[in-house]
Structure 1
């Protein structure tokens, strides 16, 4: 049991290592904690002295998982109306884009972002959303539909030779919000350079963005504690699930990792959860935000 604890400690430490090792360890991090708990229970009944040894990996795991733990929603200090933004990877060639679009619209979403779109799923989703969401923009494998007007639509390559991300400005009733939709490159053993390059690219894009309010949603293909998300986390606030879970999104039938994320700047997060929609292999993220309006004391007199 002591040796198992030390092995698990090594696995936790690997979650801080950039590259393929950190990516794999971050994906396994929640389950490493479960393994530690099992070893601790066994030690409690069979060899209590081993519990002292297990304190070190338990502390390391707590530090590693802490930034990914659920949190409470906020109570906005202003009267800004909440805006619900939903996002889902609809799984290309699944034929379920229209069903996903209908399910997400039924949640009362104001902005719907879809990723992993192919030509047929884009057509199906657009037809399903056209009436309620008259404002839209799509490029490559990503698209966004909005109840509110959008402008300044820009496709983003983020280092690739084709487009898997976009930025639009959504004109909400209270203020404009810059909405980024990302479909990061897939990760395979020995092949994660493109994914890491896109995550660095989106971090640089938001760092250069002068918008007061920003939300970034989509499929990041990176678990919550993945070191590759470090640059994005340094520029934006990672939105914690507010439903008491770790917000895991993939695979939908038995979620094992949260690879679909939400990041914000200049916005208050009222709530954030996940929902099943259509027949995708990803759960959707459902996030309610409010514009962080300046308080009366901070507004200079004319």
Structure 2
């Protein structure tokens, strides 16, 4: 029973686990997977032949459902119908070293998105990606490792270093038929065990910027290098909401192969009704792409 209580406490309070030696980062990123400890408790209790085995699993099970149950409900169960004017945004970290940026761009165009956001471009992949996307999208803006392509005019575009001194993000307005929509494209610094200060700084500065946005409708999309359960991500989630997956579950995006175990890539918004949100493979990147549609 003691192990059951410990597991339940870690599930609920994982953000309070001290980040000593990177433990906090690991626990936060793996938080949904802590539920795998529940069947282990059942097996151990059954072999011990003491009490009722299901009791050992009940407390952490309730804790897991309270923490993560609502986030895995399919969005399609509650999503509003599409309005007369919708906006689809596709985004991917294309993994520059994969050499498949052009293939990723072609796959994102095939989604029918009006807006495409790209992260982790290097000089070579930027040229290849641009050659594909420029043929479909009239407007574009790129800076550093990120780029934005749009069927709608891009206004007030500007680079953002978000405190790091080099450009890994951008901010702009999309001039849609229903008015302006702010969009931020983010490629957060990498987060590794014992080395995520730069990422934390970027996320903190983005959280500080968001309250000053003058538009009622805001989108932030890209590779945040933070799971939805990461403590450093919480200040952003307190201002922008992340929609559930259209078909349910967590929508993990990394690594693309052999199977994803965490969601580092996000579509966040406020002031919009999300009607679909999915992840898809694109190109040969180690990140799956995200595709989300909202009513304007």
TM over 0.5: yes
Contact 1:29 1:65 in 2 (8 A): no
Cα gap change, 1:22 to 1:13, in 2 (>3 Å): farther
CA distance in structure 2 between the aligned counterparts of 1:118 and 1:94, rounded to whole angstroms: 11
Q: Secondary structure at the match of 2:128?
A: helix
Q: Secondary structure at the match of 1:237?
A: coil
Higher deviation after alignment, 2-11 or 97-106: 2-11
Higher deviation after alignment, 251-260 or 36-45: 36-45
Unaligned 5+ runs, structure 2: none
CA distance in structure 2 between the aligned counterparts of 1:270 and 1:78, rounded to whole angstroms: 7
Counterpart among 34, 37, 52 of residue 36 in structure 2? 34
What are the equivalent positions in structure 2 for 1:277-292 lying under 5 Å apart? 277-291=282-296
Contact 2:223 2:265 in 1 (8 A): yes
Matched, 1:255 2:257: no
Cα distance, 1:48 vs structure 2: 5.3
Contact 1:239 1:261 in 2 (8 A): no
Q: Secondary structure at the match of 2:157?
A: strand
CA distance in structure 2 between the aligned counterparts of 1:272 and 1:9, rounded to whole angstroms: 30
CA distance in structure 2 between the aligned counterparts of 1:202 and 1:66, rounded to whole angstroms: 28
Matched with 2:24 is 22
Counterpart among 269, 274, 288 of residue 264 in structure 1? 269
Q: Secondary structure at the match of 2:98?
A: coil
When normalised by structure 1's length, the TM-score is 0.89
1:2-40: CA deviations, max 9, x gaps? 455345335424522275443211221222112313433
1:186-213: CA deviations, max 9, x gaps? 1112111111111111112111101111
Cα distance, 1:43 vs structure 2: 4.2
Contact 1:15 1:24 in 2 (8 A): no
Matched with 2:7 is 8
Cα gap change, 1:28 to 1:75, in 2 (>3 Å): closer
Contact 2:140 2:147 in 1 (8 A): yes
When normalised by structure 2's length, the TM-score is 0.90
Contact 2:145 2:167 in 1 (8 A): yes
Cα distance, 1:75 vs structure 2: 4.8
Q: Secondary structure at the match of 2:16?
A: coil
Contact 2:42 2:56 in 1 (8 A): no
Contact 1:218 1:261 in 2 (8 A): yes
Matched with 1:184 is 188
Unaligned 5+ runs, structure 1: 292-302
Cα RMSD of the aligned pairs, angstroms, is 2.1
Contact 2:29 2:229 in 1 (8 A): yes
Cα gap change, 1:123 to 1:78, in 2 (>3 Å): closer
1:218-246: CA deviations, max 9, x gaps? 11111111111110011111222121121
Matched with 1:57 is 60
CA distance in structure 2 between the aligned counterparts of 1:285 and 1:44, rounded to whole angstroms: 42
